[in-house]
Amino acid sequence: MTLALEFESKTVTALVYLSVFTGAYKIITVVLGYLSVLLDVFVLPGVSLNKYGAKKGHWAVVTGASDGIGKEYTLQLAKRGFNVVLVSRTLSKLESVQTEVQSKYNVETKLVSFDASLDSEESYQELADAIAGLPVTVLVNNVGQSHSIPVPFLETPIKELKDIITINNTATLRITQIVAPVIVTTARQKKTRGLILTMGSFGGLLPTPLLATYSGSKAFLQSWSSALAGELKSDNVDVELVISYLVTSAMSKIRRTSASIPSPKAFVASVFKSLGRRGGAQERYATSTPFWSHALMHWWIENTVGVYSAVANTLNLNMHQSIRARALKKAASKKE
């Protein structure tokens, strides 16, 4: 009887110690994770673009380069001394950005008019021809499309569904297959590193009702980009998925900036400021949530309710139901 009581006492003591240790470990892990976010966003410098051949005659390829975030990537890469291949659908808009780049920065540019929704072999070949022989070290996969307004999946127009998947996924993969081998070759020959940035989204971070197709397309880019990072690491090519919440742009239809909604200029500046650091994406390989408020939002969601939780899903649903109702009301008023 005494031995049984002694064994029970030791077991209870061991369980208490284990619980205390587990709780302390969890608290320490959370605190260190949060400190890492703050250090990445506010203190520690990112990787210098000099590592990728800035100001050495090297080239960057930017898709969706005519507006918003893509235009800012173009301008800020040119400012740092990269020649730029601008890829987008509308040639007149590309020419306008080209004029701005050439008036501000002493770099070369090339234009490729490319409608990603068409998934055209001729367009892919035109891009391949445009970069043939160029020392390309940077690719920015920025081209993308969302839904015109939040919409139930079962009511999503077929063309909209196909365009989102083709632009966000198929075209991004095909373009990367064309440009990445050139980056690998340049990195090897010039003894430098290559960089592939792909634009992610909170829509891919959190399953998003009423944006189901877009949400799925961006979640796909997360897995693909992280896998690609593992494949190209030995080729001296860094691959990073860049996650953003809302940014003022034609796609978001938001014009006013705020603490949580930066301008494209401020957002892209945050990308290059913290390049190579995870920001709010501490739990994700080869991923960054760089803008300070987005980083804090990402980390807190991940470490409280969880990105795949019913709570997050319901909040997202309610928000997009409200956005859809306002959009439908606005459309109806225009018809009257």
What is d(CA 69, CA 44) in angstroms, rounded to the nearest whole number? 24
Task: Show Cβ contacts of residue 40 under 8 Å, excluding neighbours closer than 6 positions.
Answer: 274, 277, 278, 279, 295
What is d(CA 239, CA 35) in angstroms, rounded to the nearest whole number? 24
Query: Domain-by-domain residue ranges, the chain?
Result: 46-335
The pLDDT value recorded for residue 7 is: 54
Say which of 52, 214, 245, 308 is annotated catalytic.
Answer: 214
CATH homologous superfamily of 46-335:
NAD(P)-binding Rossmann-like Domain (3.40.50.720)
pLDDT tens for the 336 residues of the chain, in order: 465 656 566 676 767 677 767 767 678 888 899 999 999 999 999 999 999 999 999 999 999 999 999 999 999 999 999 999 999 999 999 999 999 999 999 999 999 999 999 999 999 999 999 999 999 999 999 999 999 999 999 999 999 999 999 999 999 999 999 999 999 999 999 999 999 999 999 999 999 999 999 999 999 999 999 999 999 999 999 999 999 999 998 778 888 999 999 999 999 999 999 999 999 999 999 999 999 999 999 999 999 999 999 999 999 999 999 999 999 999 998 877
The pLDDT value recorded for residue 264 is: 97
Angstrom distances, CA of residue 150 to CA of 216, 245, 320, 321, 323? 14, 16, 6, 7, 7
Closest CA to 87 of 106, 100, 73: 73
The pLDDT value recorded for residue 10 is: 67
The pLDDT value recorded for residue 236 is: 97
Closest CA to 146 of 327, 330, 334: 327
Q: Is 34 a catalytic residue?
A: no
What is d(CA 86, CA 113) in angstroms, rounded to the nearest whole number? 8
The pLDDT value recorded for residue 211 is: 98
The pLDDT value recorded for residue 122 is: 97
pTM reported for the whole predicted model? 0.92
Closest CA to 42 of 285, 286, 290, 242: 290
Give the burial class of 73: count Cβ atoms within 10 A of its Cβ; 0-12 exposed, 13-18 middle, 19 or more buried. buried
Residue 201 is assigned to a ligand binding site: yes
What is d(CA 311, CA 9) in angstroms, rounded to the nearest whole number? 40
The pLDDT value recorded for residue 9 is: 67
The pLDDT value recorded for residue 252 is: 80
Bridge-based pairing state of the strands 287-288 and 237-242: parallel
Tokens of 58: 């090297």
